[in-house]
Amino acid sequence: AQSVTQPDIHITVSEGASLELRCNYSYGATPYLFWYVQSPGQGLQLLLKYFSGDTLVQGIKGFEAEFKRSQSSFNLRIPSVHWSDAAEYFCAVGGMLTGGGNKLTFGTGTQLKVEL
Amino acid sequence: EAGVAQSPRYKIIEKRQSVAFWCNPISGHATLYWYQQILGQGPKLLIQFQNNGVVDDSQLPKDRFSAERLKGVDSTLKIQPAKLEDSAVYLCASSPLDRGELAFFGQGTRLTVV
């Protein structure tokens, strides 16, 4: 069964600092990996995704993530945190369903708080 | 392009009552998902439709939850009777056929059961 672990429940950083949000996954084959962000009262917005190829993927807002197969990780890096980045971040792994289609399994999320 | 539309945005009901949520996916998206997001947890897939057929409903509590997607477009998710532990945000998402990695999410319906 596929699963995702986000070990950091809450993180507080100062604006302008760099940050890495951790994500570890369990999946039987090469996974699809995702990072989503959710602001209060909003739906999930896709930040970036990895399917194959270059293990360093770039997303919106200058975010990036690196797929490390040996560590089963897909950590998200924010080079310089802005106050508007305060939100909840979810890592997800995707896999094919037997009957077709894809199924996303989400981690429990990391709540990011930004101090000005 | 219009996004995934959900209604209502908020709903408060008493336990044992019934409730229904509605989702209108992005036009042309064959696959529709319902997720349940309990406070402090990540979204959990309840059911996935491909057109009007069910692909995966393994985590849907079928004794109280039901969902349908007539005509392969709009979908409704119903809870009857509701329990306190059903309090959550219910997210609808849609994607092109077999491309769950391209899923777009609606803003969700926040359900509070008292």
Closest listed residue to residue A47, CA positions, set A8, A74, A18: A74
Q: Which of B4, B42, B108 sits opposite A107 (nearest CB)?
A: B42
Contact A88, B41 (CB under 8 A): no
Q: Which residue of A has its CA nearest to B98?
A: A101
Closest residue by Cα to residue A113 from A4, A6, A17, A5: A17
* Least CB–CB distance from B100: residue in A41, A94, A107: A94
> For each of chain B's 114 residues, which pLDDT tens digit applies?
679 999 999 999 999 999 999 999 999 999 999 999 999 889 999 999 988 899 889 999 999 999 999 888 999 999 999 999 999 999 999 988 767 667 889 999 999 999
Using alpha carbons only, what angle is made at residue B23 by residues B20 and B26, rounded to the nearest 5 degrees?
175
User: Using CB atoms and an 8 Å cut-off, which of residues 75-94 of chain A contact chain B?
Assistant: 90, 92, 94
Test the B interface: residue of A97, A98, A105, A110 with most B CBs within 10 Å: A97
The pLDDT tens digits of the residues spanning A63-94 come to 999 999 999 999 999 999 999 999 999 999 98
Q: Which residue has the higher pLDDT, A39 or B22?
A: B22
- For residues A41-45, give the mean pLDDT: 83
User: Measured between CA atoms, how close is B44 to chain A, in angstroms?
Assistant: 7
Sign of the CA dihedral running B45, B34, A30, A52: negative
User: When comparing pLDDT for A52 and A100, which is higher?
Assistant: A52
